[in-house]
Each structure stands twice: as C-alpha cells, then as structure tokens.
Amino acid sequence: MIQVVGHELWRRAHDGTIDAEDAQQAILVASRKLGTVVHAPALDGLSEVDLEYLVAMTADQAGPSRTSQVATRMRQTDKYASVYRNRLIEADVIDPAGRGLVDFTISYLREYLIQHEETYKLARR
C-alpha cells in the first residue's frame, strides 16, 4: 500500500510539491488498487458463510474480534462459527490474535468489506 501511495504521489508532484489534496487522492487511488488486486481475489474463493464471518468481524473497527461476539452477530453457536473461523485461518484471511480473538491477516480488508457492503451484503442475514 505504501509503495502504491508513493507512486501516486510522485505522479501528482508536477511542480515538485505535494499538498494535502494530492496525498488524499493518492491514498484513495491506492486503496482502490489494493482492493482490486488483493482483496477481491482473496474473497473470491470463500463460501457465503465464510463471508458472513468476515462481515461480522467488521463491527469491531478498532482491531481484533472476539470469536464469541462474531458467532452472536452471525446468530450461530460458537461451535458452528468456529468451523468457519478455522477455515478462514487455514485460508490465511484471518489469524488468531490471542485467546478467543481473531483479526484480519490482509491489511485494510476490514475497510474494504465496509466500503463494499452492498457487494458482500449476501453475507448478512
């Protein structure tokens, strides 16, 4: 992400200066590219319930998610949700982040899922 932002900033620095608007635009472009090149392909092979688990994690915007809260948001038992937790860990989409906690492995995936809520709406029941 940093490299893409840097590249975009370099492209915008026509007169040798970069202002706040240039930086904001570079971050926006880099985020879109990251979503297209990294996030969307990572989600393509996942099941609807895998996606539902990830969408349930997006409610925890400050960091790791408690697995029990993810199960509650999915309206499922902890045991049922743990099957999908394990699948997502195996797929390197999430990682254990302490006892009873998981977090996204892929940088900015939470933000991508939030921004593309309509696309992944099917995962919300």
pLDDT in tens, 32-76: 777 788 899 999 999 999 999 999 999 998 889 999 999 999 999
Judged against a pLDDT cut of 80, whether residue 30 lies above it is answered with no
Task: Please tell me which residue, 124 or 94, carries the higher pLDDT value.
Answer: 94
The structure's pTM equals 0.78
Q: Phi first, then psi: what are they for 60, rounded to 5°?
A: -95, 80
In this structure, whether the domain defined by 45-123 belongs to CATH 1.10.10.10 is answered with yes
Average pLDDT over residues 85-95: 97
Residues 106 and 101: their CA atoms lie apart, in Å, by 16
Q: Edge-to-edge, what's the strand order for the sheet holding 101-104?
A: 65-66, 101-104, 94-96
Residue 125's pLDDT band, with cuts at 50, 70 and 90, is very low
Burial of residue 115, with CB atoms counted within 10 A of its CB: 0-12 exposed, 13-18 middle, 19 or more buried: middle
The predicted structure's pLDDT at residue 88: 98
| Alpha-carbon distance values, 54 to 3, 39, 72, 122 (Å) | 26, 12, 13, 12
> What does the pLDDT look like over 14-23, one tens digit per residue?
777 787 887 8
Residue 77's pLDDT band, with cuts at 50, 70 and 90, is very high
| Alpha-carbon distance values, 20 to 33, 68, 112 (Å) | 20, 41, 23
Judged against a pLDDT cut of 80, whether residue 3 lies above it is answered with no
Judged against a pLDDT cut of 60, whether residue 122 lies above it is answered with no
Residue 121's pLDDT band, with cuts at 50, 70 and 90, is low
Residue with tokens 């006892």: 99
The domain spans of the chain are 2-43, 45-123
The predicted structure's pLDDT at residue 124: 47
